[in-house]
Amino acid sequence: MRARARLRPSLNLSTVMSSFRHFSIFLLCTASLARAQSSRVAPPGSEKILHLDSFVVSAGLEGKTAFDLAQGTSILAGDELRRRAAATLGETLAATPGISSTSFGPGASRPIIRGLGGDRVRMLDNGVGSLDASNVSPDHNVSIEPLLVDRIEVLRGPATLLYGSSAVGGVVNVIDNRIPSAAPAHSLTGRAEVRFDSAARERTGLFAVTGGDKTFALQLNGLRTETDDVAIPGYADPANPAHYGTLANSAISTKSGSVGGTYFWGGGHTGLAVSEYDTVYGVPVGEPIVIDLRQRRVDFRSEISRSFAIFQAAKARFGLADYTHAEVDTTTDRANTTFRNKACEGRLELVQQDIGELTGTVGLQTSRSDFSAVGEEVVTPPTLTSSHALFAVESLRLAPDLLLQFGGRYELQRIKLGPVDPLLPAYPGYAARTGEKRTDHGLSFSAGSVYYPAKDYSVGLSATYSQRLPVAQETFSHGPHGGTGAYEIGTSGLGEETSLGLEFTLRKRAGFVTSSIGIFANRFAHFVFEQRDPKRYFDAATRAFLPYPVPPAADFLPIYQFIAKDALFYGAEAEVQFHLIDHPEQRLHFSLFADSVHAGQTTDEQPLPRIPPARIGASLTFEPGRWSLGTEARHAFRQTRFTSEETKTAGYTLVGAHASYRIDAVRAPRLGLELFVRGDNLTNATARLSTSFLKDIAPLPGRGVTFGARLSF
């Protein structure tokens, strides 16, 4: 077994602080403006501008808003969510500070938080795992439809206490009303929408309808989307020019639907929902491959709001899913490889009775995943993974202006390996055998404080110690992976990945200027990533590992093995809003944002692969009466830190604009029609993401205009 590197308890502060040169002027100006606006006479009504007072249900602490948390948090909801909603979760969140995306074509994109992705960022569906295979490979989409959600909460940085070792980078919790959480105010409410997009000739229709009374509610949701291949500026792969102006094999066809119901009683509610998500999308890798993805899912949710024993409330959630996706060759209409995941996850949260100034939640979580693949590209043998955990998060008010938050988690993970092909070629570090069982234990702790130095200001400081347990693909993989263009091999002796994270936040929630600023650093011991074998390659004809050089015209794949070395991530993000006019009948807001992350493995002092570049952006929104008008620009700097297998990524600027007009029925006040239009990448800029495996052959979409109508009742 590989000797584990010892976690160094201290961070190199001089190195960390040097990364913030992109932010120095920005933060100083922000602080000066915020301070100046606090001392001057504010515009009428500005004292009511509260932009950080949304309760964060994913944080595990009852009654806590984003303003009251030591950890970086983002919430996307309401008009902002409807404007940014895209075909994938990654693209929906891509403009959020601290978040980028994997962008494996228009059909598959998963969020990356502060440079961490894959199995270090958990995707949650109403507080329970997405129960798909999106963490296994970047060409696997998250089985969640963004256009049907009501709210997205992002916890930046370690969230392992509540959601497991796979949340060391953060959590994205997608919340919808599939199971109604409150009795409807009217017997029938809902919304319907149609939209069209010029870049991909998208045609989308959706509806979400709630009916019921104070004791029972029924929810029906449905969506259908069809697109063609998306338009791009120039050639997808300038080195091999073909299909000018179009990203070949990038079309999407999606169907999604659900039916759910909730029974309400005086002390709580209980609900159940059945849902289906089907999508077929092209994988623009230069081959005629599409992914046919299907998930059938059942969710249960129950909450007790009455006090019992030493608890004041209880929340139970459970999800059960049958997930399948096939990688289909469109020339033969046959599946090359089919992946299956029969998974379930449940969690119980018990909200404690207040003990003086101490509040908190204790809970347990359990999950099971039966994952398998059959076909030509089986990377990982069948595995059965189970996980069980106990956790607690607490909040103690030490003084009127000082809040302490702390918690811990213990996690047990078991993996049982299925049949392993005995003909697999031997490779150093790989020793998987049929029927092998592996057990891992993980501990995580956190402590933080929130200080309120003045009205509407909060300062947060947190420290987190986390252990991420190795997953099946990191230890048992041994096969060709078409999505990444590599032969991937696991390392049997990988141990726990340990991290020590520090974070500082500064927030201002009211007044002419509101803002949220975060600075973070995270040191890893035994950080797991894939490293290329410089001496050997996989020869497809002989199915053997051969020494370089590769003969001409040979069919081969480079070998990448999961290894562990020490690593350091650090960076910052900032978001500032200037509320130039803020009245019920007229609003004018100007926003600035910036983010940056620096990541490298410190064992050999080398960069880590696919790290996002520094970004800055600005937006202006004007809302006179029934109109909503806005424009924005986002600039990504070039990425010059990359591994020897990568190339530098050029910078780019994306410019967009939006407009909408709302028509309310005079005799039916709940009936409204909104007409909207949105322009993306209006300058038709070529944008390639350093975080994408396909950056050299699949740029982001070119100029596109989305327009449609939204009916609410």
420-460 per-position pLDDT tens digit: 999 999 999 999 999 999 999 999 999 999 999 999 999 99
**What residue ranges in 509-651 does DSSP mark as E strands?**
513-539, 544-547, 556-583, 586-601, 606-607, 615-624, 627-636
Residues sharing a CB contact under 8 Å with residue 369, sequence separation 6 or more, in sequence order? 131, 341, 342, 343, 383, 384, 385, 386
Prediction pTM value: 0.91
Q: Which residues of the chain have pLDDT under 50?
A: 1-50
**Which candidate, 506, 346, 495, places its Cα nearest to that of 7?**
495
C-alpha dist (Å) from residue 455 to 55, 73, 400, 401: 19, 20, 12, 10
Dig out the tokens for 619 from the structure.
């937006």
**Which candidate, 441, 494, 469, 466, places its Cα nearest to that of 3?**
494
pLDDT value, residue 159: 67
Dig out the tokens for 561 from the structure.
């093995």
Find the length of the chain. 713
pLDDT value, residue 22: 43
- Decide the pairing of beta strands 513-539 and 544-547: antiparallel
pLDDT value, residue 1: 31
- The domain locations on the chain are 13-712
CATH 3.20.20.140 matches 13-712 = no
pLDDT value, residue 51: 53
- Phi/psi of residue 4, nearest 5 degrees: -85, 135
pLDDT value, residue 8: 33
Nearest-angstrom CA–CA distance, 141 and 157: 22
Specify whether the CB–CB gap between 460 and 71 falls below 8 A: yes
